Chains A and B, each alone.
Chain A
Amino acid sequence: MSHADLSIQIGSLHLKNPVLLASGTVGYGNEISQFTDMSKLGGIVTKSLSLKPRKGNPPQRIVETPSGMLNAIGLANVGVEVFVKEKIPFLRELNTTIICNIAASSIEEYVECTKILDPIDTINAFEINVSCPNVKEGGLIFGNDLNSVGRITERVRAVTKKPLIIKLSPNVSRIAEFAKVVKDEGGDAVSAINTLVGTAFDIWTRKPKIKNITGGLSGPAIKPVALAKVLEIKRNVDIPIIGIGGIINWQDAAEFMIAGASAVQIGTVNFINPNAGVEIVEGLQSYCEKISIGKLSEVIGSFQL
């Protein structure tokens, strides 16, 4: 029997399959490549870049929670210049789609980063992080504000013709409104969701378990929330969605696609099973065979209510 077609089209962005590794869980690709064949993935989203390097938050940055984890890394990254010089040569050889994630503390910085990175062929698309919960400037201040998300989309759109994805925060009351503003301002897709704001305390010292006090919750614990957000967008706005949140196996990935995601990103599971992405691709392949469909894209938004 011939294999089902797993390829996915998101605007002008072609993916060989819908499984992407999420930003902040794959660095710039080099470390995880020791454990997995990245050419089998749909693509990777590189760690959030800012114009200048950021050293990130002091420890403790992470803590495990029931079926999840909180992190407050603080967007530690090498900055655009080092990324171009030192990370692009490796990424170029990976034979997978490279989506470059940008996080900034001002609208001008988003624009500036995009302008510098736009001419680089290795970068196939941009994902704009307007939803990091762990930095003082930018991050959620933008992600919570419809007007800011609209302005950022519009201004970044003006400096690149590459596919433009905006990564949305779940820490809002109506995520569909944010997806709509992205669509109206020329964005090609939205990623949903970034982490949920959470915290945890040590009951003996009565101190927060992470230095930043709050962090972003990820992992299987957030999957139902993420699915509901994807569904909300799908039912209200006609824009491609990249589903993210607690996916650890192919069944989870299929569930997101049924709820309306054109593609998915996997994050926290990479820390536990660095080969999870490839296993999910294989699982989706056999899923197509089990339900006798020739193209995986047929399941996108195929929910029966």
Chain B
Amino acid sequence: MYNEKSRVESNKKLLSNTFLLRVYSPLIAASIKPGQFCNIKVSESSYPLLRRPFSICEVEGDYLHFMFDVHGEGTKLLANKQKDDVIDILGPLGNGFNYSGDYSTAIIVAGGIGIAPFPYLIKQIPTDKKVVSFFGGRSKENVIEYGMKNLLVSTDDGSAGFKGNVVQLLEKEFYPFRNESVRVFACGPNPMLKALQEFAIQKNIECQISTECAMACGFGICQGCPIENTEGDGYYLVCKDGPVFDSRMVKL
């Protein structure tokens, strides 16, 4: 784990509210795995006070990419970063996806900005596996295709792709995969992950979900990000034990 002062290389607007930040961060780039995250200080002052956690979106050589939506003070400041600004990044944090081992098809399921961790994952998945991606958004203007492979889209209003949510779309399209050994990788809002948990149990397939929780430190000392476990009556920490969990391990 490193605390790396990283120079901004570019900050591209992908959609009206979605940005792709590229920073020079060789130490973290050399060690980060898909599904892990970084905790980013978005200002040099005490406002906002805390770092902001972001999934790693893509790694290219010494460069990290982060994809984010602007929805609060922190992300607004991050959206204003320009080439040669320096930001303070802590990472790699968390556990990441397990994409090795015995399966034939990777099914990616992303809801909205939950697509962020998948460009890097898709690049790292062994080439002998098939990859199919499902993306759900509110409407046409929110559809992100960046870094996706064999993409199927759903929108709540039907303005692009299937009308409905992304788990409904997956259910509709699942038939051809019924006899394959599939592994689902998912990230998105909790209701989506919950529906997917049930789907995975029903079809008896392996499903890894990347979860989200308000957190301060990002590495286990503040204990601020509990997620209920299914084994006993305790909690895991999203930052340290996650953010990726086998969907059977946690109660959402």
Contact = CB atoms under 8 A, between A and B. Distances in A.
Nearest to A25: B221
B235 A35 contact: no
A59 B226 contact: yes
| Size bracket of the B interface | 20 to 34
A62 B215 contact: yes
Interface in A35-66: 35, 47, 55-64, 66
A219 interface: yes
Contacts of B226: 56-59, 61, 76
Contacts of B41: 272
Interface in A55-86: 55-64, 66-69, 71, 73, 76
Contact of A64 (B1, B3, B49, B90): B49
Contacts of B51: 271-272
Given A55-B235, A58-B226, A59-B213, A268 B221 contact: no
B3, B41, B90, B221 pick with most chain A CB within 10 angstroms = B221
Given A34-B1, A68-B49, A69-B216, A271 B223 contact: no
Nearest to B229: A55
A75 B213 CA distance: 19
Interface residues of A, number: 36
B157 to A, nearest CB: 22
A contact face: mostly helix, strand, loop, or mixed: loop
Given A55-B234, A58-B226, A58-B228, A63 B3 contact: no
A295 B231 CA distance: 54
Nearest to B228: A58
A27 B49 contact: no
B87 to A, nearest CB: 13
B147 interface: no
B220 A67 contact: no
Given A55-B234, A67-B49, A271 B216 contact: yes
B223 A73 contact: yes
B5 to A, nearest CB: 12
Nearest to B50: A64
Interface in B2-50: 3, 41, 46-50
A61 B225 contact: yes
Given A32-B221, A270-B221, A219 B49 contact: yes
A262 B223 CA distance: 29
Nearest to A75: B223
A54 to B, nearest CB: 10
Of B1, B41, B46, B235, chain A has the most CB atoms within 10 Å of the CB of B46
Contacts of B49: 64, 67-69, 219-220, 268, 272
A26 interface: yes
B214 interface: yes
A76 B220 contact: no
Contacts of A25: 221-222
Interface string A240-258: 0000000010000000000
Interface string B219-252: 1111111111000011100001000000000000
A31 interface: yes
B50 A31 contact: no
A62 B3 contact: no
A271 B46 contact: no
B222 A271 contact: yes
A270 B223 CA distance: 13
9 contacts: A24-B223, A47-B223, A58-B228, A61-B225, A69-B49, A73-B224, A219-B49, A271-B222, A274-B90
Q: Report the 6 A-B pairs with minimum CB-CB distance, sorted nearest first.
A: A62-B224, A271-B217, A271-B216, A31-B220, A27-B221, A55-B234
Given A62-B222, A71-B216, 18 more contacts: A32-B221, A34-B219, A59-B226, A59-B227, A61-B224, A62-B224, A62-B225, A63-B214, A64-B48, A67-B49, A69-B49, A271-B217, A272-B49, A272-B50, A272-B217, A273-B3, A274-B3, A274-B219
